Amino acid sequence: MAEQITVVGAGVVGLTCAHELAAAGHRVRVVADQRPAQTVSAVAAAIWEPYDVAPADQALRWSMTSLAAFTALAGDPDTGVVLRSGTVVAHTASPDELWWAEHIPTRPAEVEELPPGAASGTVCTVPVIVMPRYLAWLLNRCEQRGVTFEWRGVDSLDSLDGTGPVVVACGLRSGALTGDDTLVPARGQVVRVANPGLTHWYIDDENPAGLTYVIPRLDDVICGGTNTPGGSNITPDPAVTQEILRRAIAVEPRLDGAQILDTLVGLRPTRPTVALDHIDVGSRPVISCYGHGGAGVTTSWGAAADVADLIAHL
């Protein structure tokens, strides 16, 4: 396509869309008022898990594409991607099978792989991504492919110069640009602590005390978390911080006394289903790619591939 494609947004979804469009031979620019390190993507834990995202069939397809991409990247230390084994915790002896587990190698957890209070669990090895490092790598890869960047706000799609296609991939900001009032925030708070030598992760979405996860990365561990629909306050709540740490230490006692490095809050862009399609906004072709909820990283490569396919068929 001779016309330049504009991607609005520089989080993990926007950057991955820009990367894949440039890889397909298009001229691409990214317009965003937040640099990658300022986006909600930088707050993500981030572990490959199709969490809080629909529709399930498309989310699984996107996630499997991303799984292959992240697994390949795990061999390059510059990417911040590592493969880690861990346990998805369950609170019944015979839990319902994870809806995505049949598509990757898994096994039942041994007793010693379960945290206190867990009845059972599923062990698997998946990518864990150090997001600040990964976003910097992805930005650099985009620049190497000729993607240009304009760091400014976009009040409306009509304010963008040119007539080429636009990809709206700016998280919560996407709703204002497309007139989509189904896109709402879900507040997530995490605590980043120094890693005392952990490599095994735990996810306990069903914890009666609240959403709980312990994700060892390289030098740190992300402890979570919350997923509060409609929450919009990005100031960390000290009481929530202490509750997150209490739950995390109950799962992994070696975290007791770990140095707190940071407390982070991000607003996940959620809607009933991911918006990825042609949309009728203005006089130029517009493609939506937003509303990935808690699975923006997990679905990023697959969703970007679908965006590139839609562009190819304009």
pLDDT digits (tens, 9 = 90+) for 135-188: 999 999 999 999 999 999 999 999 999 999 999 999 999 999 999 999 999 999
Q: How many helices (H) and strands (E) does the chain have?
A: 6, 14
CATH hierarchy code of domain 5-313: 3.40.50.720
In this prediction, residue 292 has a pLDDT band, given cuts at 50, 70 and 90, of very high
Give me the torsion for CA of 144, 66, 287, 37, rounded to 10°.
-60
Identify the CA nearest to 207 among candidates 182, 227, 189.
227
C-alpha–C-alpha distance, residues 183 and 299, integer Å? 17
DSSP state of 93: S
What whole-number distance in Å separates Cα of residue 156 and Cα of residue 31? Answer: 12
**DSSP label at residue 7:** E
Helix H or strand E segment including 204: strand 201-204
For residues 218, 290, 39 and 164, what is the CA-based torsion angle, rounded to 10 degrees? 120
Sign of CA dihedral 250, 253, 257, 263: negative
Q: Is the pLDDT of residue 1 over 70?
A: no
Half-sphere exposure of 142 (CA within 13 A, CB side): 27
Percent of the chain whose pLDDT exceeds 90: 91
Q: What confidence score (pLDDT) does residue 98 get?
A: 81
* Ranges of each domain in the chain: 5-313
- Which residues are annotated binding-site positions for D-dopa? 213, 268, 294
Positions at the binding site: 154, 213, 268, 293-298
Number of other CB atoms surrounding residue 290 within 10 Å: 29
Binding site as annotated, residues for FAD: 154, 293-298
Residue 108, classed as helix, strand or coil, is strand
Nearest CA to 40 out of 194, 206, 227 is that of: 227
